[in-house]
A = this chain, B = another copy of it.
Amino acid sequence: MILIGGSSDLDQDNRGAFQEYPQIDAIRPHCKHASRPTTIDAIPQHIEKAVRTALYGRPGATYVEIPGNLVTETVDESTVKSSPPIPLSRPVSIPPESLVRSAAEMIKESQRPLVVFGKGAQWSERGPIQLQQFVTATGLPFLATPGGKGAIPDNHPLSIGPARSTALRESDLIILAGCRLNWMLHFGQPPRFADNIKIIQIDVSPEEFHQNIPTTLPLLGDVGETAQVLRKSLKGWKFDSNSKWMKTLHQKAEKNKETVEKMINDESTPLNYYAAYKAIRDYINQNDVLVVNEGANTMDIGRTMMPSVLPKRRLDAGTFGTMGVGVGYALAAALYCRDYSPKTKVLCVEGDSAFGFSGMELETIIRYKLPCVIVVVNNGGIYRGLTTEDWKSVEGDPTLQCPVLSLTPECRYDEMAKAFGGRGVLCRTVDEVRKALPEAYEYVEKEQRPTLINLIIANDSERKAQEHDWLTRSKM
């Protein structure tokens, strides 16, 4: 991401100008690169470097601050030495051949291999294709981290996402592709991982190897390109699909799926989270949908319930877990898809507390007629809410505050959409959602206007019990 900011005029620096501030200093901790041109001629070079630095290598936000007087100044364009356009595709590399061969040997020797990929697989230009070819050719079971979802379709036969805990804990060799052993992967520590786990790690950042536990074989390079040379090095070798390991994983996955399926099929109202997602899941399975997703339970469960079958079709709160990004992401995604990928449908699924951070952007989405559908999964709180009944009893007692994690029960975000000149729909049942979603996209199609679906669910719905308590504290 490249941010361009304005600042006070250069000649008012140090004097108490309007919004005079050491912005570059203040933004530097948050950015990969920040700079401030002080002449109009220097602007093209600063922009070029900001774009390049944001995209190349490990990507990151960059910032260029343009002083107010340069914003309003004019210049004879012919005198400006513009930077020539640089290629937007990132330079890539692969590991040396000898290491690739070693990796191939390790894979062949493993009894319980596992591929885990993360957002590095998506940032890799040909990563999704090449990684999928690798997995398909080798028959290795795989998991995606939230950032990696979609690089290979969730519905690929080798996906064992539903057996995640078992897979991580019992594997003897993990091929870690573009993801980090940070809190999301429990720092690679027992009991979530085997004590003597072997790691083949593919990453563009050498500093990421050996983080928290030793990397057995570091493969420095682009995820996709490296997967390709590794596949070639394996020369047609394939993991036994009837091995004990595959059976264990598939059985565990099936069992977990059944547990979830029960909840999905419990359509009693108010709906539980899984049932709430039922019709959404089905719609996604039948369409090219770019999903934006944030919230607490809404995002956790959404990661399971909303299948990712295409790469770069999912935007969520990310590793940092920053809430409030969803509506802005939806806005940007709709703008992009409108102009560059009109067949892709933008669907933003928000927890109600997450929506509360930046729901006002709905006005912008409606005003700009951006083609998207926003579903607010509304349980009236963070993790849990209060029933309208309970709420009233709390209201009745003037000495009580309403509990800080509860929001207004059954808040009418659909009416808010109408107030902004848009379309809002209230749903309480699976059937209502099943009807509302396609209608909303038809409305997008015909009227080029967004819809907000306010999906009321039970205030006490929770996510499926987890096997391990350990580290759930830091498990978002």
Residues of A whose CB lies within 8 Å of any CB of B are 8-22, 24-26, 28-30, 35-39, 41-42, 45-46, 48-49, 52-53, 56-57, 68, 84, 86, 90-96, 180-183, 187, 205-207, 209-212, 214, 218-221, 225, 320-321, 355-360, 363-364, 366-369, 395, 401-402, 407-408, 411-416, 418-421, 473-476
CB-based contact A360/B363 at 8 Å: no
Are A35 and B11 in touch, CB under 8 angstroms? no
Q: Given A13-B36, A28-B29, A56-B207, list of 20 further CB < 8 A pairs?
A: A12-B183, A12-B187, A13-B42, A14-B46, A14-B49, A16-B211, A17-B183, A19-B320, A21-B320, A22-B29, A25-B28, A45-B212, A49-B211, A52-B207, A57-B207, A93-B93, A93-B220, A359-B360, A367-B408, A411-B420
Q: Which residues of B contact A363 (CB under 8 A)?
A: 356, 407-408, 411
Instruction: State the number of copies, please.
Output: 4
Q: Which 7 A-B pairs have the closest CB atoms?
A: A16-B182, A415-B419, A93-B93, A56-B206, A412-B419, A91-B220, A18-B474
Cα A125 to Cα B14 with chains together (Å): 28
Given A11-B42, A30-B26, A93-B93, do A181 and B19 touch, yes or no (CB 8 Å)? no
CB within 8 Å for A93 and B95 given contacts A360-B360, A418-B415: yes
B91–A209 touching, CB < 8 Å: yes
Interface pair A15/B45, CB less than 8 Å apart: yes
Given A56-B209, A93-B220, A206-B90, A357:B360 Cβ within 8 A: yes
Q: Give A52 to B26 CA distance when docked, in angstroms.
A: 24
